[in-house]
Amino acid sequence: MGNKLFGTDGIRGKANVYPITPEIALQLGKAIAHVFGAKGQGEMKAVIGKDTRLSGYMLETALTSGLVSMGMDVIGVGPMPTPAVAHLTKSFNASCGIMITASHNPAEDNGIKIFGADGFKLPDSIESDIEEHILGGEIERAHGTQQNIGKAYRMEDARGRYIEFAKASVHNRSLKGLKIVLDCANGAASSIGPAIFRELGAEVITVANTPDGNNINMNCGATHPENISGLVRQHGANVGISLDGDADRVIFCDEHGNEVNGDRILGMCALDMKKRNRLVKDTLVVTSMSNLGLIKAMKANGINVDITAVGDRYVIESMREHGYNIGGEQSGHVIFMDYVTTGDGIISALHVLKHMMNTGKTLAELTNFMDVFPQVLKSINVKEKRPIDQIPALAEIISECERSLGDRGRNVVRYSGTENKIRVLVEAEDQALVDTWVGKITEVINRELC
């Protein structure tokens, strides 16, 4: 058995390959029930949701068996966005919520995210506790008594509960008159997403909403915003909305079909919230991947920018610690902490649409507040994830790049938390300079890690 299960975003890997196997899922269920039973938070029940991957059935069944065998009841809510599971965990006063998803990854991958009773992702200490029970082997032999076996049942109205929660976050603001192209990534929001926008009065042209278990994220969704760019222009739509497989992130297209990423959405919302005196401590939280143009624009408008490590969990940690109420990532995770405990693509989209309706402005007009610094982000497959500071040639070229750019740019070189990839980001005022340094860093990576 391996020596680590949890990564930066739960447990992730190829379906039916360690650790995403029914055997590990069974033990994970038992370990979760054991750990949360000892903690005594919420009732002894777990909410389980999943996206539309075929392997979700296998993992859901194994997890459920493990949980009920150790005395925990299970509420199955079926295909459901990740943020919906976080919300329903709190709503049902459950001990924990479990989402079976690999987010924006291809169909052959899957993963398991766990939320605490408060709807937030688990802290490292609890993940480590669960992990130790599995890797130590003792949980495999642990069994509850006949009297303590839990029950598993379906919550038939879970979908409706989340729909009403999402609409209430914008006070059921009418979207009548808006035409939307919505890409559901053949994922968890395939039925729930169109229903929410239509119920509020928008005209919705839906694509990638026919999941078959194998087509999630396939040339669609938030990682392929180009999928709806042409459709927005073709239908004369006001906006395009691209969700990812588990609907916790969103990328937009404006009325011209131009991509509008998380940086522009975060900045637009922060400016609006500051204007309405709703921006706590006048602060926006972003990661080191956000464009320098966003940071410059925010400071020019009297908004502080708190920059965290890459990953929505680090954004959320900072927001919780300091009480900030908006933050997110360029990749489309937007966290409105006044309403949600995690990124929520649908609720983020509702707030953008509400802002468009309230101002009477187009998305292009609302997001034209920043000059984007030339930026290149490159992902490279690697054989292994050796610590960067233990690769002298790579550490040296990174330092050389930093010295050269000074305060006129920056670079970020980091491994993906969920895939065998290294990501290289270089940003500067001059595109030629960006291309030169991306080329130099990539050359060293190809030589040392590929």
The set of catalytic residues is 103
Residue among 176, 207, 213, 164 nearest 51 (CA): 213
Closest CA to 347 of 336, 355, 357, 338: 336
Residue 378 pairs in a beta bridge with 424
Whole-number Å distance between alpha carbons of 431 and 104: 29
Q: How far is 79 from 12, CA to CA, in rounded Å? A: 18
| Cβ(424)–Cβ(406) below 8 Å | no
Reduced to 3 states (helix: H, G, I; strand: E, B; else coil), residue 104 is coil
User: What strands lie across the sheet with 421-428, from one edge to the other?
Assistant: 375-381, 421-428, 409-415
**Other C-beta atoms lying within 10 Å of the C-beta of residue 129:** 16
Size of the chain in residues: 450
Longest Cα–Cα distance in the chain: 70
Distance CA 361, CA 357 (A): 7
Q: Which residues pair with 377 in a beta bridge?
A: 425
Q: For the sheet containing 259-260, what is the strand order?
A: 203-207, 179-183, 239-243, 250-253, 259-260
Contacts of 402 (CB under 8 A, 6+ apart): 410, 411
| C-beta of residue 414 within 8 angstroms of C-beta of residue 423 | yes
Q: Per DSSP, what are the bridge partners of residue 45?
A: 73
Rg over alpha carbons for the chain, rounded to the nearest Å, is: 22
CB neighbour burial string for 157-166, b if at least 16 within 10 angstroms, e if fewer: ebbebbbebb
